Amino acid sequence: MVSSFVFLLCSAVLVVVVVAGAAVTPAPAAQTASCVLDVSTTQICPVSFRAVAGKRGSYTVAKYEDHSRCNFPPPASYPGNNGNYRVAWISIAWGDGTRSTSGVARLGGACPGTSALDSPGATAAITGTHRYTRGGRYIVQVYIKYVRGSGNTFGNCSRITPKSLVYEINNNCIALKAPSRSTAIVKRS
């Protein structure tokens, strides 16, 4: 439980990456339907979205745990940790061979739970804007990274290493279950 919690605390940074290349087979529908956000096992979930080739649109590419509104009394075992973590960086690779783009971490509602050790955070969306040129199905891989938020003085997740996808407790907190594998279903125009 401690290692999972430490990972969560480090996972407040969001990075979204998609495997570049040609159209690929989508993730099974069950993966999206069965994903449940949980502080100790899953902090990012895939989604399916529809697009029209040739038209630019804004899409929800993943769901994640938003801890930006958490403010619990710090537990003795984690001094300074009030549970507040925020998304610090997003990168979306769209799965169609185009260059990666940035995205937006939407904010959820109030922080649920009773302590920094058990709060699943509020469910919120990661969105990005893109134009697919061809119809097909694409796998969009999404990573998220967190950093300490307001009032959090605990010793982890102090900053991110933007280009690294290697988890590191102090400076590169990647969410549990990243990358999520979302599916873009693109209709021909």
Express each pLDDT in 42-51 by its tens digit: 888 999 999 9
Cα separation of 74 and 100, whole Å? Answer: 37
Would you kindly state where each structural domain of the chain is located, as residue ranges?
A: 2-187
Question: Is the distance from CB of 144 to CB of 16 less than 8 angstroms?
Answer: yes
How much is the pLDDT for 64?
Answer: 93
Q: Is 123 helix (H, G, I), strand (E, B) or coil?
A: strand
Cα separation of 91 and 89, whole Å? Answer: 7
Number of other CB atoms surrounding residue 110 within 10 Å = 7
Express each pLDDT in 95-149 by its tens digit: 999 988 889 999 998 888 888 888 888 999 999 999 999 999 999 988 888 999 9
The DSSP line for 40-74 is TTBSEEE-EEEEETT--EEEEEEEEEEBTT--PPP
Give 13's pLDDT tier (boundaries 50, 70, 90). very low
Give 16's pLDDT tier (boundaries 50, 70, 90). very low
DSSP 29: H
Q: Which distant-in-sequence residues (6+ apart) come within 8 Å of 48 by Cβ?
A: 26, 29, 32, 182, 183, 184, 185
Query: Which residue matches tokens 């605990």?
Result: 154
| Tokens standing for residue 157 | 């997740």
How much is the pLDDT for 171?
Answer: 81
Express each pLDDT in 141-186 by its tens digit: 888 889 999 999 998 888 888 778 887 778 888 877 888 899 999 9
